[in-house]
Homo-oligomer: A and B are copies of this chain.
Amino acid sequence: MWKPDRTSKTALYQQIAEYIEQRITLGEMPPGSMLPSERKLAEQLGVNRSTVVQAYENLRASGIIDSTTGSGTRVTKSRMGMAQLQTPNWNRYVEGGTLLPSLPFLRKIREGVQSGEPFINFANGELAPELSPNEWIRNVLQNQPFHEPLGYGDPQGYVPLRNALASFLLEHRAIKATDDSILVTSGSQQSLYLITQCLLSPGDAVAIENPSYNYSLPMFQSAGIRLFGLTVDKDGVDPEEIRTLFKLHRIRMVFLNPNYQNPTGTVLSTQRRADILACCEQLGIPIVEDDPFSLTSMDEEVPPPIKSLDRSGTVLYIGSLSKVAASGLRIGWMVAPHTVLQRLVDARQQMDFGLSIFPQWIAAHLLDSSALTPHLYRLREALRSRRNLMANALNRMLRDKISFELPAGGLNLWCKINEDVDDYTLLRNGFKRGVLFVPGSVYGSEAGFVRLSYARPAVEDIEIGISKFSEALHETITR
């Protein structure tokens, strides 16, 4: 996003006014469209509010924008030469559509991340730059000559990558699969999107862990799906609850995240894996097993995935490289029965015509490389030390105020706040102090929880961030 140039001789307010005028002239902000509030634009551009006030005043004086008390600032409708135009009412268009917008909470957090301000980011469950295999990828690019065809690729995914995945899944997750039953996706998000869009119909009932990352995904609501929560105890989800939900609501699919569940960090026990599979096989309902974190074990290994027990084609297994290598690769996968994959492949052609060859080619090299195991070893070490740093800081600064279980893997620490707090106030108080995190209610949990990710911020910022969080929490409690 554009920012004013602080080294230029032109005054900041002048640069801002010129930039907005240019965008209006180009039609990027059509007549009648809304300008951001002065406060918000100041935040986005990293300038004082008074600078934006002055820029808007200038534009108002030229008749380019006008403000009405209470309804904000807009681009003037009746400018020279376009007095008679009924330009599209874009606001009405963007309110339409079947894909619902993201939750306001998440948009607020995303704005913070994108503002370029130096927030300490406990909100994004992603790896810090130094945890990705940068050097290794650079080597692949420079030393492996690229000789792949550059046309539309195989719609199910680059064949060498599917073969590499079949070996990888067998070695690391005890899953037997042929390349025919593997779909390469643009990360787990695309796998979930395809499942909800192609296999479920409006009105369908679905069971998911409560709390769950999936609650934060408007795609379920967009697809008109009714969500029913499954309690997560220390061993994960109880199969009996699935049975009950089936009787009550005829649920058509179960979404599970059995390893270091997002956000709670729970691991589904070995016994329950088998029981849940047997239960769903009996009921004839599929399980979506979302498994992004299993290779991030910091203490001991997790049990084999439900998919490794599946001989009836009941489980759709989802994984990705985002949490163990690089989210910027945008490489994920799904293992599923043939009928399902055929349908999803066909639907994806309509959405984006399949994946770029380049990240697939790189991912195939990474998975085949002997450097994978040492990388995973280093990653786990780094995550363990980050997690411990965060846990120690929390224990030191907030011992009475919060409680948590130490997660044995994954990127997130799920924290219960022992007093009544308002989620949004806590988020805002953190924002003010420069620390970002996700309030638990985003995941559908009752109020009074937060998810703190230890993987993203700089190591040296973890303690500082927790102390900012501590201040924000204290302020929220005493209000």
Contact for A353 among B94, B198, B330, CB less than 8 A:
B330
Query: Is A177 in contact with B26, judged by CB distance below 8 angstroms?
Result: yes
Per-residue B-contact encoding for A139-173, CB less than 8 Å = 1, 0 else: 00110011111111111000000000000000000
A283 to B127, CA, bound (A): 49
* A14 at interface by CB-CB < 8 Å: no
Looking at chain A's contact residues, is the secondary structure mostly helix, strand, loop, or mixed? loop
- Known contacts A189-B350, A352-B189, A286 near B338 by CB under 8 Å: no
* A57 at interface by CB-CB < 8 Å: no
Interface residues of A in 358-379 (CB under 8 A from B): 358-359, 362
Interface residues of A in 328-365 (CB under 8 A from B): 328-331, 337-340, 342-343, 346-347, 349-359, 362
Q: Chain B: which residue is nearest A315 at the CB level? A: B27
Per-residue B-contact encoding for A87-102, CB less than 8 Å = 1, 0 else: 1111101101111011
Most buried by B among A88, A102, A201, A340: A88
Contact for A102 among B96, B137, B154, B349, CB less than 8 A:
B349
Q: Which residues of B contact A286 (CB under 8 A)?
A: 88, 90, 93
Q: Which residues of B contact A155 (CB under 8 A)?
A: 110, 114
Contact for A94 among B91, B185, B343, CB less than 8 A:
B343
Contact for A202 among B1, B98, B107, B152, CB less than 8 A:
B98
Query: Is B284 in contact with A339, judged by CB distance below 8 angstroms?
Result: no
Q: Chain B: which residue is nearest A86 at the CB level? A: B284
Per-residue B-contact encoding for A53-77, CB less than 8 Å = 1, 0 else: 0000000000000000000000000
Nearest chain B CB to A252 CB, angstrom units:
8
Q: Chain B: which residue is nearest A149 at the CB level? A: B129
Query: Is B86 in contact with A282, judged by CB distance below 8 angstroms?
Result: yes
* A222 at interface by CB-CB < 8 Å: yes
Query: Is B23 in contact with A99, judged by CB distance below 8 angstroms?
Result: no
The stretch of A305-313, A390-398, A434-442 that contacts the partner chain:
A305-313
Contact for A193 among B124, B138, B152, B350, CB less than 8 A:
B350
Copies of this polypeptide in the complex: 2
A154 to B93, CA, bound (A): 24
Query: Is B97 in contact with A200, judged by CB distance below 8 angstroms?
Result: yes
Query: Is B352 in contact with A180, judged by CB distance below 8 angstroms?
Result: no
Query: Is B199 in contact with A338, judged by CB distance below 8 angstroms?
Result: no
Nearest chain B CB to A207 CB, angstrom units:
14
Interface residues of A in 436-458 (CB under 8 A from B): 456
* A463 at interface by CB-CB < 8 Å: no
Nearest chain B CB to A326 CB, angstrom units:
4
Q: Which residues of B contact A350 (CB under 8 A)?
A: 99, 102, 189, 193, 217-219, 222
Q: Chain B: which residue is nearest A191 at the CB level? A: B352
Q: Which residues of B contact A26 (CB under 8 A)?
A: 176-178, 181, 311
How many interface residues does chain A have, given as a range? 35 or more
* A281 at interface by CB-CB < 8 Å: yes
Query: Is A99 in contact with B338, judged by CB distance below 8 angstroms?
Result: no
Query: Is B93 in contact with A340, judged by CB distance below 8 angstroms?
Result: yes
* A425 at interface by CB-CB < 8 Å: no
Q: Chain B: which residue is nearest A349 at the CB level? A: B102
Contact for A181 among B28, B142, B180, B202, CB less than 8 A:
B28
Query: Is B145 in contact with A138, judged by CB distance below 8 angstroms?
Result: yes
* A248 at interface by CB-CB < 8 Å: no
- Known contacts A96-B200, A137-B146, A311-B25, A152 near B84 by CB under 8 Å: no
Query: Is A181 in contact with B23, judged by CB distance below 8 angstroms?
Result: yes
* A51 at interface by CB-CB < 8 Å: no
Question: Which 7 pairs, one residue from A and one from B, show the smallest C-beta to C-beta distance?
Answer: A30-B313, A86-B284, A150-B326, A27-B313, A97-B198, A330-B356, A96-B201
Apart from the given pairs A102-B349, A110-B155, 14 other A-B contacts in the complex at a CB distance below 8 Å: A1-B180, A22-B178, A27-B337, A30-B313, A91-B339, A96-B199, A97-B347, A126-B152, A127-B151, A132-B150, A132-B151, A152-B328, A186-B352, A187-B353
Query: Chain A residues in contact with chain B, CB under 8 A?
Result: 1-2, 19, 22-23, 25-31, 33-34, 82, 84-91, 93-94, 96-99, 101-102, 107, 110, 114, 124, 126-127, 129, 132, 134, 137-138, 141-142, 145-155, 176-181, 185-187, 189-190, 193, 197-202, 204, 217-219, 222-223, 252, 281-286, 310-315, 322, 326-331, 337-340, 342-343, 346-347, 349-359, 362, 456
